[in-house]
Amino acid sequence: MDDQQSHQDVIRCHLCEIPLPSMHCDICHEHLCDECKEKHLSDGSKEHYIVPFRLRGCTPKCEKHLKDCNIPICESCVSSDEHKEHTHENILTCLTAKKDLIQKDLKEIENNLFPKLQEAATNIQKQRADQSKHSQKLRADINAQGEAMHKEINTIIDDMRSNIDYMDSEHKQAINIQEESINHTIKELSQIISDLRTLLDVNDVCKVSKYKTRNEEFKRVPDQFVVDFPTFTPQEINREHISKQFGFLTKLKITYPVVDECQITDESTNMDNTTLNSLTCGSDSKYCS
């Protein structure tokens, strides 16, 4: 009795009754072995959906799919007032189409989108290195220009100091020459004064008679030169002018790729409300708002 009960409990293929079938038709609810699968599918009087036995029951109970609402729906609901005007299709057809889309998207992501993103991520390090290198070069160029301008300013200062030294020497020499002339005249007049006092003290007719006045020679004091001292007139420091002389630093400009404008390819609306409900863009990479 137990053996008979155990024999009855074994799951078998609905066609050939081989135990432990590997497949299952989720629409017909029949177990199938690999050899009977094609025979079962050959019955074109109804839809079939063969899945591995372990995935039996995964097919949605709703056999229709509403394109407008993008939801599965059963036969009893498809004719309801809410959905009777909506376009519907077989749920398995929709499922197959969706899986094809998923497979297509997966292929595009793995072969195109993801590698591009990985390349972009790798490029980030290069961008950081380029940014640091360029920034260092900018600073080096600015420092070099600053040193060049300081050098020019120092050269101008040195030239002016040299001119001052030369003018100082020239002025001192003029003063020394004038001093020598005056001292010579003073010495000469001092000697004349001494000689005249001597003549006044003697009564030597011969010497006194030979005296000739020289006062006219000394009435004219040695020329006193007039000095126009050099002056330095500092100019107002114009920062804008100095900045123009120093150079120009352009601003950072970051240009992003232009994204094409979205185009409305499908419009879904609620039948009871004329307000726009959703937008479908031409590509998943393009965003609508």
- What's the rounded mean pLDDT across residues 151-171? 96
The structure tokens 């094409």 sit at 260
Which pLDDT band, with edges at 50, 70 and 90, does 75 fall under? Answer: low
Let me know if residue 222 belongs to a domain: no
pLDDT confidence of residue 86: 52
pLDDT confidence of residue 119: 92
Token pair of 173, please? 């020499």
| CA-wise closest residue to 268 among 80, 67, 97, 78 | 67
pLDDT confidence of residue 76: 47
Let me know if residue 47 belongs to a domain: yes
Which range of residues forms the domain containing residue 22? 9-59
- Top-ranked range on mean pLDDT: pick from 58-67, 97-106, 146-155, 261-270: 146-155
Residues 72 and 64: beta-carbon distance below 8 Å: yes
Token pair of 32, please? 């199938």
pLDDT digit string (tens) for 86-127?
555 666 777 788 889 999 999 999 999 999 999 999 999 999
- Top-ranked range on mean pLDDT: pick from 23-37, 42-56, 141-155: 141-155
Let me know if residue 168 belongs to a domain: no
Let me know if residue 20 belongs to a domain: yes
**Helix and strand numbers, DSSP H then E, in the chain:** 8, 8
Let me know if residue 117 belongs to a domain: no
Model pTM score: 0.49
| CA-wise closest residue to 91 among 104, 78, 81 | 78
Let me know if residue 172 belongs to a domain: no
CA distance 73 to 60: 9
Arithmetic mean of pLDDT over the chain: 81
Let me know if residue 46 belongs to a domain: yes
Residues 6+ apart with CB under 8 A from 22: 32, 33, 34, 52, 53
Token pair of 210, please? 């030979």
Q: How many domains does the chain have?
A: 1
Residues 6+ apart with CB under 8 A from 202: 208
Let me know if residue 174 belongs to a domain: no
